[in-house]
Structure 1
Amino acid sequence: MERRTLLTGFAAIGAVALVGCGSDDDKPRPTRTPSKTPTTTATTTQTPTSIEPKIASTIATGLNVPWDIVFLESGDALVSQRDVGSIVRISTDGKVTKVGDVDGASGGAGGEGGLLGLALAPDDESTLYAYVSTRSDDRVVRLTLDGDSIKSQKPILTGIAIGSRHHGGRLLFDGDGALFVSTGDAGNGPLAQDKNSLNGKVLRITRDGKAAPGNPFGNRTWSYGHRNIEGLAYDADGRLWATEFGDKAFDELNLIERGGNYGWPGVEGKSDDDDLVNPKVTWGTDECSPAGLAITRSTAFLGALQGECMFAVPLDGKKAGKPKAYFSGDHGRIRSVTAAPDGSLWVTTSNTDGRGELRAKDDRILRVTL
């Protein structure tokens, strides 16, 4: 495995320049001018050349912290609204229809929890999986849809430790029908190194919430040592990538390996430990706060909350090039980036959560062409 640097090496920096700069999505941010030239590290010098993202239209406005988007065969989308715990259906012409509320979703009040990630069953779009923060735990719930309503709800995985921050929350099915689940450390870093804990992990489970066959440790853990992953996506060759919030040094774009240890809480960013997996790209924590992730046309696109932009990162096999920022400061905090069936990206803002500058008609979904 690749190698990473011990956090103790950042102690002096953290005491001076990085105090208060941790990229948690856990408190209001001061008004700032986003950097258009981030000081990043990458595994190749390749830069985006053939892609020029542009805002083509506004799909919908007036949403409440839209956290995730999944597309139906019709081209319509289901969108989770974090703080109110509801799912809405948005048509391609922007019509918004409420589908229903998810039981027990507890968002708002300054925290990061609520209704987070969504994933449609690959062979049945009437079955929807949701990552939900309740007052007692984080959990994965299976929803049965009946048209524009929720017919039934059943928790399949419970007991993910909860805190006011670091929920993770992204869901993604693999080619074998197993479900990847990203979980945060709930503000308790040592949980990330405990392979038997559900926290600080990428989990891989069956549709009933059990450990999926082929997992490296015989339990639900696929990879560990994560602080807070809010983005998961496959590249064209089936490799799994993830965005991860740092603490006081580096945010990360990682290539997820089966059984890999990504070092948190002992390390952050790159390291010299052969037993740990190095990130492919790092940002200073005041530049990014990486959230949703989409990969298309050999490029990773990710939302940046603190950076108030969308980053494009060229990919070349297992290598990642230099990020380029788009829409810096134009729309506030960018959270989810999702590839649409027509080749565009649907991008959500996150300004109604009390941590950014609220604009008229926020939050919104923007359609980005490439």
Structure 2
Amino acid sequence: MLARRTFLTGTAAAGALALVGCSGRDTQPTPTTSAPSPTRTSASPEEIAPSVAGTVVEGLNVPWSIVFLASGDALVSQRDDAEVIRVSPDGATTGLGPVPGVEVRTGAEGGLLGLAVDPDEDDVVYAYVTTAADNRVVRMRLEGDTLVSPTVILEGIPLGSSNHQGGRLLFDGEGSLFVSTGDSGSADLAQDRGSLAGKILRVDRDGEPVDGNPFDDRVWSYGHRNVQGLAFDADGRLWASEFGAQETDELNLVERGGNHGWPIVEGESDDPELVAPQATWSTDECSPAGLAITRDTAFVAALRGQRLWSVPIGPDGAGEPSALLDGEYGRIRDVVVAPDDSLWVSTSNTDGRGDVRGGDDRILRITL
């Protein structure tokens, strides 16, 4: 067993999250407050100068999720191949085999999605997968260059016909696993706290609810349309990037027990019962996927927007976004903080919605 690792992408304790109440309904427990409610002010992040240092690896199939092992190697999920590969910092790749039970449908957003590595056991890997019946989370063990003993720990997450599957996994430092789910194309399920769709869930390593969850079940927050990015900041606050419908994409500071609004509202709202987003974009500018936070800056991968957004964040919320890599590499799927404090950024041009370029898909290394 390895000592708990701490990465800048966030392994802070869930108890340090901003626990801010957001609903006055009698049926909803009122979360206690451990941090002030965020407001819209300018943040002053550490001065950074992002620069593409080169390509780590190319020729990948829809690299959806990147997570790092203690060795410095990364595990990468290939969505449509349903295969996990190991990528070393010098770009060498090793196939670890397909994840069993994954159903891939041409032109759809499902398949092999998010990955997470247990913060205490480097050889235990979790994956969010689409099957013929549902979306689910499986736990596997990494033995040498093979993933073995797949065990379903969470099933019954509603399956969208082609999209809105969610799919991001993120551990906190106490071993709780956060799972983002989409509304499965049935918007009303996002407001139904009895459904796993349109939620951010918090479960233990066996998929069971964690003590301290706001509703004594698996739900951490609700009213989400399609969260595909999760990250903790340096203060232990959970942030999420979220697809809008027709007009507005969002960067959200997630509140314990919070109603984040979908489908009651898309984007900004002055309703005190709902959690307002910290930053917004038009759906043409963003379509956000992966999310990473380092140096008081949130980096948001943009698919339709074909860029990487940089958003300063601070104790009072988020500042003005600025665009990086604008159109240079096509659709951007994931962004993570590597052990050397660089960013690894994956493209998503082989997903059926992008223009494939020579070498696609690839993972870029960006220094800050």
Which runs of 5 or more residues in structure 1 are unaligned? 4-41
State the distance in 1 between where 2:133 and 2:45 align.
44
Q: Superposition pairs for residues 11-90 of structure 1, below 5 Å?
A: 43-46=40-43, 50-90=47-87
Query: 1:84 touches 1:108 (CA, 8 Å); kept in 2?
Result: no
State the distance in 2 between where 1:47 and 1:354 align.
38
Whichever residue aligns with residue 79 of structure 2, its letter is R
Whichever residue aligns with residue 325 of structure 2, its letter is F
1:339-369 CA-partner distances (Å, limit 9, x unpaired): 0000100000000011011001100000000
Query: 1:47 touches 1:323 (CA, 8 Å); kept in 2?
Result: no
State the distance in 2 between where 1:358 and 1:173 align.
33
Q: 1:150 aligns with which of 136, 147, 150?
A: 147
Query: 1:48 touches 1:324 (CA, 8 Å); kept in 2?
Result: no
Aligned to 1:231: 229
Which runs of 5 or more residues in structure 2 are unaligned? 1-19, 23-38
Q: Superposition pairs for residues 169-208 of structure 1, below 5 Å?
A: 169-208=167-206
Aligned to 1:302: 300
Whichever residue aligns with residue 150 of structure 1, its letter is L
Q: 2:156 aligns with which of 159, 175, 195?
A: 159
Q: 2:340 aligns with which of 339, 342, 352?
A: 342
- Distance apart, 1:78 and its partner CA: 0.4
Whichever residue aligns with residue 208 of structure 2, its letter is K
Query: 2:59 touches 2:360 (CA, 8 Å); kept in 1?
Result: yes
Query: 1:62 touches 1:362 (CA, 8 Å); kept in 2?
Result: yes
State the distance in 2 between where 1:335 and 1:47 align.
27
Q: 1:117 aligns with which of 97, 114, 117?
A: 114
Q: CA RMSD in A?
A: 1.5
Structure 1 pair 119/49, CA: closer, same or farther in 2 (3 Å)? Answer: closer
- Distance apart, 1:47 and its partner CA: 6.8
SS at match of 1:198: coil
Q: 2:218 aligns with which of 199, 217, 220?
A: 220
Question: How many residues matched?
Answer: 333
TM-score (norm 2): 0.88
State the distance in 2 between where 1:46 and 1:89 align.
36
Higher relative contact order (CA 8 A, sep 6+): 1
Q: 2:101 aligns with which of 104, 127, 145?
A: 104
- Distance apart, 1:133 and its partner CA: 0.5
List 4+ stretches of structure 1 deviating above 4 A: 46-49
Query: 1:67 touches 1:79 (CA, 8 Å); kept in 2?
Result: yes
Aligned to 1:168: 166
State the distance in 2 between where 1:50 and 1:94 align.
29
State the distance in 2 between where 1:340 and 1:304 align.
19
State the distance in 1 between where 2:189 and 2:295 align.
36
Aligned to 1:33: none
Question: Are 2:271 and 1:253 equivalent residues in the alignment?
Answer: no
